[in-house]
Structures are given as C-alpha cells and as structure tokens.
Amino acid sequence: MKKVSLIARIFICLIIGVFLGIICKNLDIVFPIRILATLSGLFGNFLSFIIPLIIIGFIVPGIASLGGKSGKGLLITTIIAYISTIIAGFLAWASGQTLLPKFIKENILLSNGGQAIEPYFSVDMPPIMGVMSALVLAFLLGIGLSKIKNSTLLKSMEDFSSVVLMVVTKVLIPLVPIYIGCVFAKLSFSGEIFNTLKSFGIVYLILFSLQIIYLLIQYSIAGIIKKKNPIALIKNMMPAYLTAVGTQSSAATIPVTLACTKDNDVQDKVADFVIPLCATIHLSGDTITLVLTSMAVMYMNGNIPTFSMMMPFIFMLGITMIAAPGVPGGGVMSALGLLESMFGFGGIEKPIMIALHAAQDSFGTATNITGDGAIAIIIEYIINRKSNSKTEETEYDDITEAV
C-alpha cells in the first residue's frame, strides 16, 4: 500500500467503508461498526491532541525564516501573495453562497445518526492548549525569533518542527485513509451516504471551475502588465501545472515552476526569489478548496455559513498554512485547528474535510504554483517601476546640482 498514492488509498478505504456499512445495515450487524467507531474515536482524539502542536511546529519556523530575510522584495511579495490568497477565499465564499444552497440538501450528514453507534471504549487525549492559544503563541515566538540572530530556541523549534512533520508523514497521513473508511462506514450505516456523495460531486464541479477561473483572472492581470496574451502565459506554465498534479507538492515542483516562469520572460533575479517564497506562502488553490468544502459541510449539517463567520476564517487561513509541509495533505492538516475552533467541526466533519481536500490535492497544488508565475510577473513590474522611478529622481537631482 505504500506504493499506492494517498488519494487512491483514501478512495479504496472509503469504498470499503461504504459497502461494509451497507452490508452491516442490511444484515442488522452492529459490532463491526462499533469496532470501526472505536478506531475512529481513538484516531480523532489523537488528531485533536496533535493539532496545536502542528500549528506551533509549522508556523513558528515559517514566520521566523520569513522575518530573517531582508529587503523590500520580501515585503512586497508577501503582501501580494497574501492578498491573492484572500481574494481566492472570498471568490470561493461568494460562489459557494450563490450555488451551494441550490444543490445541497440540509442535514444530510446526520451527525447525530453517526454518533449513535457507540464505541466499545475511548481514551481521552486532551490537547495541551486550545487552538487559538497555539496560534497566538506561534505568532509571538515566530516574530520574536525572527529578530534574534543565531537563536538557540529557533534551532530547537526547527527540531520540534521536524518531529511534528515526522508524526504527520509517518503516522497521520498513513492512518488517514483508515480513519476516513471508518467514518464513511458509520455514515453508510445511517442510510444517507449516497445523498452525501452526490453533494460532494457537485462541490467538485464548482471547485474545479473556480480554480480555472481564478488562474484566468491572475494571468489576465499579468498579461495586461506584461502586454502579452494571458493564454500564452498560461500555456508556458503548463509543464509546472502538470508536474504539480503528479507530485502534489509545491516545493517539489519549484525547479519546473522556475523554468516555466523564466519562459514567460521574467527576470532571473526576480523569479529566483519569488517562486521559492511563493511556494510557501501563496496558497490560493488550497484556500478555494478549504473555503468551499467547509461551506458545503456546514450546509449539509443545516448551518448557514454567513459572511461574518467566513471572513475571519479566510484571513486566518492565509496565515495558518504558512510553511505547511510539501507533503500531500499538509494544507488541510494545518487548517484543522481553525475548522474545529471556528466552525465546531468534530469527528464526522474533520475526516470528511480531509477526504474532500485529498481528492483534489493535486489540482489545488497545481493552482497554487501556476499562480506563482503570475505573482512573479506582477512583482517584476512593481520592482522595475520603482527602479525606474529612482533612476529618474537621481537624474533630476544631477541636473539640479549642475544648474
């Protein structure tokens, strides 16, 4: 199974879970579902325990490393990448608000029905701190350590980050397909699984359309700035897009993204700085996915995701996913804390969010890195414009002194 991709493993376990739930329901056999409920409960409790550690482990080194760099280019790139991520989130919210209520039935997740299957036993694993406490601590440590040169604590935090990353890659990610299979077995036992799966299909149609539309928006702006055909710019980025679909990692795709960006006549010095940085901080594809799918899950639960609920989530999402590891599922693992603390997502909703994110992770990553090429064009324009402005000011000063 190690050679099988994550999405394939999730799909296999999901199908097995659905059919097992249906068979047990038809035969009126409860004990297999109770065993699965026990396993999913244990994993869910461990997931809740590890979430604050993931937040601290991912965010502290990420913010500290960004702050350790210097230059206006860093600030400009970070601001534009964050703005792009936020715009993507609000586009997803506006689209979801308009389209999702027309296609999704309320209360089809039947959280209460799923929870009626009692586990044989449970083990409490209370988190060492709340999600918001972990976020505040991560921001304070990250910003503070960015100002201290050769910090011993930063080295310790990097080691801690490596441990957390090891837990995510060696424990959480391998067990996630089984966890999802257990949850879908409970859902199918409740009898409403097919309505749920039908709604997921509609969500994906909207999701993929939004990702394509957002790339067209990004490259339309880049095309106007570069005075080139946006379609031609996107065509040059297709090798990077396809590579990201295969690797599911922005970091692993950096060399190809760099080459494609330079094919769009972006200066080497700009591309060499912007592309590796944006691979970490520009997450428009993941943001579209997490915003739209979380809204879909809320509608399925009979809740209405209002603007006042989604706005802080979108703003926090752009920060929380900083330095999410270059492994499949890193983005959603970083966002689980926000989903739990802001929307109250629990043992049913969180695995569904993981499954929804994993099923499109390749295309979300591809949207992220393809958009990085457009960001590089915009950054190049801003930097060159400032350089030209400074040159004109210098020439004016020289003329004034001569006079």
For residue 189, give its domain range.
6-401
Residue 65 lies in a domain: yes
Distances (CA, A) of 300 to 3, 198, 291, 305, 361: 34, 12, 14, 11, 22
Residue 313 structure tokens: 């989530």
- Within 210-271, strands assigned E span none
* Digit-coded pLDDT (tens) for 163-211: 988 888 888 878 888 888 888 888 788 765 666 667 778 888 899 999 9
Residue 35 lies in a domain: yes
* Digit-coded pLDDT (tens) for 301-328: 888 888 999 999 999 888 777 655 555 5
CATH number for the domain including 20?
1.10.3860
Residue 1 lies in a domain: no
Give the model's pLDDT for residue 229: 93
Q: How far apart are CA 349 and CA 344, in angstroms?
A: 9
Give the model's pLDDT for residue 291: 93
Largest Cα separation within the chain, whole Å, is 98
Give the model's pLDDT for residue 133: 84
**Number of domains observed in the structure of the chain:** 1
Give the model's pLDDT for residue 252: 72
Q: How far apart are CA 141 and CA 245, in angstroms?
A: 34
Tokens 């409860």 appear where?
30
**Of the candidates 208, 207, 218, 211, the residue with the CA atom closest to the CA atom of residue 371:** 218
Give the model's pLDDT for residue 322: 67
Tokens 């601290």 appear where?
56
Residue 102 lies in a domain: yes
Tokens 């109250």 appear where?
344
Give the model's pLDDT for residue 146: 80
Q: What is the pTM of this model?
A: 0.75
Residue 209 lies in a domain: yes
Residue 216 lies in a domain: yes
Give the SS3 label for residue 65: helix
Give the model's pLDDT for residue 211: 93
Write b or e for each residue in 111-129: b if 16 or more Cβ atoms lie within 10 A of its Cβ, otherwise e.
bebbbebebeeeeeeebee
Residue 22 structure tokens: 């249906």
Q: How far apart are CA 132 and CA 140, in angstroms?
A: 12
- For the chain, what is the mean pLDDT? 81
Residue 316 lies in a domain: yes
Residue 106 lies in a domain: yes
Q: How far apart are CA 207 and CA 364, in angstroms?
A: 9
Contact of 168 with 327, CB cutoff 8 Å: yes
Name the burial class of residue 365, with classes exposed (0-12), middle (13-18) and buried (19+) by CB atoms within 10 angstroms of its CB: buried
Tokens 């490596």 appear where?
162
- Residue 148, number of CB atoms within 10 A of its CB: 13
List the chain residues with pLDDT less than 70.
1-3, 66-72, 105-116, 191-197, 247, 322-330, 386-403
